[in-house]
């Protein structure tokens, strides 16, 4: 991890993947001195043991990055940033296919059985025999390997994107284009992408998880609180979607060998864009 914590950006450059991979920094911002002290203590490990570029910022320095006077303190991880994971994934698929890999993304595996010393995976369209089978199903396992259906905490999350912001809003909101995470509530990573859209996410209401307008209204209140100048600006919802996330009570991803040649690789606890390609390597 120390040597390859920029692997997401490195792969995008190496394979020419247009996936909005920008090292604009990752900022943990807060308005509380006590929270700032905890963030600084936590960051020492990443700086001294993992070689990250870490900066402790206060006052005007934080305001210059965020465009907001609401946050008085922050810890900036310079090597962080943003990426579009959908485009990164498809770019990696294209790079693999160009190098001879076969990819069948629309083909559900129906069963797994031994075939001599190897494994036979059966689908509705045909079968594949392989030395090794790796399950990367995360929160969407099937019953092929029952152990993978109950080894994580299923959690519903949502994400939303706005329509491209007006120029006046883009000049005010996160002019540094760093990814913003407010502490102590680290559930709303806040990004402005290459198209000038706000992308953010959180945990939905259990009573109305598919109510896009209600969830967007909560974020809009947060935006107006953080950047009061935006209250009269046109910020509109474009897309809202939900999905399942697989969490474990330990931070490191799950790596399993159930039988010789049958592996699991999943449960990245929100580190998927980095840890998945790193462990794949």
How far apart CA 153 and CA 131 sit, in angstroms, is 30
pLDDT of residue 22: 97
pLDDT of residue 249: 84
DSSP 207: S
- The C-alpha angle 87, 92, 93, rounded to 5 degrees, equals 95
Q: Which of 118, 116, 232, 83 is nearest to 168 (CA)?
A: 232
> Mind giving me the DSSP string for 108-122?
-EEEEEEETTEEEEE
pLDDT in tens, 110-129: 999 999 999 999 999 999 99
Asked whether the beta carbons of 98 and 91 are under 8 A apart, the reply is no
pLDDT of residue 259: 93
pLDDT of residue 106: 86
This prediction has a pTM of 0.91
Decide: helix, strand or coil at residue 156. strand
Asked whether the beta carbons of 243 and 83 are under 8 A apart, the reply is no
Residues of the chain by 3-state class (helix, strand, coil), percent to 5: 30, 30, 40
Q: Average pLDDT for consecutive 10-residue bins of the chain (281 residues)?
A: 93 98 96 96 94 95 97 96 95 96 91 96 95 93 88 90 98 97 86 98 93 97 97 98 88 88 88 87 85
pLDDT in tens, 250-261: 878 888 999 999
Q: Which residues pair with 180 in a beta bridge?
A: 27, 190
Q: Which residues pair with 55 in a beta bridge?
A: 76
Q: Which of 75, 9, 6, 10 is nearest to 45 (CA)?
A: 75
pLDDT of residue 232: 96
């Amino acid at each position: 991890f120390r040597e390859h914590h920029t692997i997401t950006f490195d792969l995008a450059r190496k394979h020419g993947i247009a996936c909005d991979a920008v090292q604009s920094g990752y900022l943990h911002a807060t308005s509380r001195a006590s929270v700032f002290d905890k963030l600084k203590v936590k960051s020492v490990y990443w700086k001294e043991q993992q070689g990250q570029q870490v900066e402790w910022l206060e006052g005007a320095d934080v305001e210059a990055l965020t465009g907001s006077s609401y946050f008085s303190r922050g810890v900036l991880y310079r090597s962080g940033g943003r990426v579009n994971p959908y485009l990164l994934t498809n770019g990696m698929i294209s790079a693999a296919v160009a190098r001879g890999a076969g990819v069948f993304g629309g083909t559900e595996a129906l069963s797994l059985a031994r075939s001599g010393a190897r494994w036979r995976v059966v689908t509705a369209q045909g079968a594949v025999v392989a030395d090794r089978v790796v399950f990367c199903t995360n929160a969407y396992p099937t019953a092929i390997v029952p152990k993978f259906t109950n080894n994580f905490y299923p959690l519903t999350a949502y994400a939303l994107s706005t329509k491209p912001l007006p120029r006046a809003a883009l000049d005010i909101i996160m002019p540094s284009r760093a990814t913003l995470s407010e502490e102590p509530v680290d559930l709303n990573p806040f990004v402005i992408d290459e198209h000038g859209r706000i992308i953010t996410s959180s945990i939905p209401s259990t009573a109305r998880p598919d109510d896009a307008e209600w969830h967007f209204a909560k974020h809009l209140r947060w935006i107006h609180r953080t950047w009061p100048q935006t209250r009269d600006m046109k910020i509109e919802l474009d897309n809202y979607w939900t999905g399942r996330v697989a969490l474990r009570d330990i931070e490191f991803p799950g790596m399993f060998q159930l039988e010789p040649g049958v592996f699991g690789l999943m449960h990245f606890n929100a580190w998927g864009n980095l840890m998945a390609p790193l462990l794949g390597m």
